[in-house]
Structures are given as C-alpha cells and as structure tokens.
Amino acid sequence: MSRVAVVTGAARGIGAAVVRRLAADGWRVVAVDICADIPGTGYPLGTREQLRALAEEWPESVRDVVADVRDEAAVRRAVAVAEAEFGGLDAAVAAAAVMAGGRPLWETSNDEWDALFDVGVRGVANLARAAVPLLLQRPEPRSGRFVALASSAAHRGLYHLAGYNAAKHAVVGLIRGLATDLRGTGVTATAVSPGSTRTDMLTATAAYYDLADVEEFSRHQLVERLLEPDEVAAAVCWLCGEGASAVTGTVVHADGGFTA
C-alpha cells in the first residue's frame, strides 16, 4: 500500500522537490501552499500555477491544496484531504517558510517579524497539531514521520538576519519537544537544516546583501557550490521513510558543510 504525505510550502523550491521525490517513490502526496504574497516578505512567493503544475505532473499521486499555514483551520482542512483522498497519513513535511531581513534586529519591522514566525514557526506547529493525530491513528507498529525544514541559520548567527535566526532556532526547539512528546509511539520528529540552496528564497537573501550573484554564497560551504533543492529533498524523503526509525528529536545537516 502506498504511503501518504502532506507537504507544505510545496509550490516551488525544496517543498516542490520533496513532493516530486515522494511521488516518484510511489507516495501519495497532498501538496499545500498559500499561493499568494504576504506582508513583510518583499519578494514574490509561489503561485497557484506552480502548485497546479506540480499536481498535473503527477495526476494520480498528488493533490494540490491552497491553504495558509498560519491558519490552523485551513491546515486541518488540508490534512483532512490526505485521509479523504488517500485513506490516512504516514508523513508530514513542514517546508513552508519565508525570508525577511537585511537590517539589524532593532530595525526589523513588525510585518517582517510576524511573517518569519507566523509562517516559519506557527505554521510548523499548526501542521503538527493537525497531522500528528492522524499519524497516531495508523496501526502499530507505527512508522509515522514529522519532518520540518530548519536551516543552517538555526545553528549559526547570520548578519542582518536575526529574526530568521530566531525563527529557525525555534523550529529546532519545537522538533525536539515534539519528538519527546511522541516518545514510544513509533512516530518520529526530525528537522533538516539546509545550507545555501538554489531557491527563490536565496535570491531574496542575496538582495539583502547587495550581491550581484547568488553563487557568492557557495564560498561558505565545503562543497564549494550551491546546493540544489533535490539534494535537500533527498535527506527529507529519507527521514520520511520507514528506514529512518532510529532518527528522532534531532537535526540532519544537509548544508554542504556550511556549519562544519
């Protein structure tokens, strides 16, 4: 029987790469994205067309759902699609996040702070509250998985990105607490911390530093290149699998050596 996942932030970037990898591996996936811009970000977010194209790429395996992870009721409705369409849930991937910054913390606006925490932290918590009860409904021995996207910013301070640093540290703390709450259930909770990955979010970050080329970020990584979304997705999808049963309450650093 096919395993079933819900993935937020799925319209593009790492989230879309996770959906594609899972679908290629035979999973059924509910792909969720807000498909709209929000205050505080200053760059365009994923679109309805991008999310729809993902579902059209895998018409038998992927259901596209427009939902705002900041809205707990909307997230619950999106997760309910997994049960209604595919019969249950085996993994939830919280990939929705935004970037905001470019100034010292004391100059960070409320809109920027709210965007970082409401999407990147509250959104993760909303998905956990909606998804974990379904993960726990699977018969024993369970192999449910909850995976959140953190960041190398959860482990090192980054210039003029204190709010983003704080939000990603919060994600790691949330995962550690969730994993402890799930003790003995067979359901695990983990985080993946990417390094500089070739995404629209990285392009937005480059603008904060007045960089002419995102390739300049590659010098901070031991692999001496930017990561591709699919490389990070590979780590996420491994954690979603039954073979990752020994990994919980911790972070996988898919960062190209950024934090070495």
Q: What's the pLDDT tens digit per position in 78-112? A: 999 999 999 999 999 999 999 999 999 999 999 99
Catalytic residue among 43, 159, 164, 208: 164
pTM over 0.75: yes
User: So what's the pLDDT on residue 1?
Assistant: 73
* Phi, psi for 128 (deg, rounded to 5): -65, -45
Q: Which two tokens stand for residue 89?
A: 């849930």
Phi-psi region of 37 (alpha: psi -120 to 50; beta: other; left: phi over 0): beta
Report the 10 Å Cβ neighbour count for 90. 25
Give pLDDT tens digits for 57-76: 999 999 999 999 999 999 99
Tell me the C-alpha distance between 201 and 222, whole Å: 21
pLDDT at 138: 96
Spell out the domains of the chain, with CATH numbers in brackets: 4-252 (3.40.50.720)
Average pLDDT, the chain: 97
Beta strands in the chain (DSSP E): 4-8, 28-33, 62-66, 91-94, 145-149, 188-192, 251-252
Cα(79)–Cα(237) distance, integer angstroms: 18
Banded pLDDT at 180 (limits 50, 70, 90):
very high
Query: How many other C-beta atoms lie within 10 A of the C-beta of residue 68?
Result: 22
Helix (H, G, I), strand (E, B) or coil at 7: strand
pLDDT tens sequence across 109-140: 999 999 999 999 999 999 999 999 999 999 99
To the query of whether residue 164 is one of the catalytic residues in this protein, the response is: yes
Instruction: Give the model's confidence band at 43: pLDDT under 50 very low, under 70 low, under 90 confident, else very high.
Output: very high
Q: Check residue 212 and give its pLDDT.
A: 87
Q: Which residues contact 28 (CB under 8 A, 6 or more apart)?
A: 2, 3, 4, 5, 61, 62, 82, 85, 86
Residues 6+ apart with CB under 8 A from 184: none
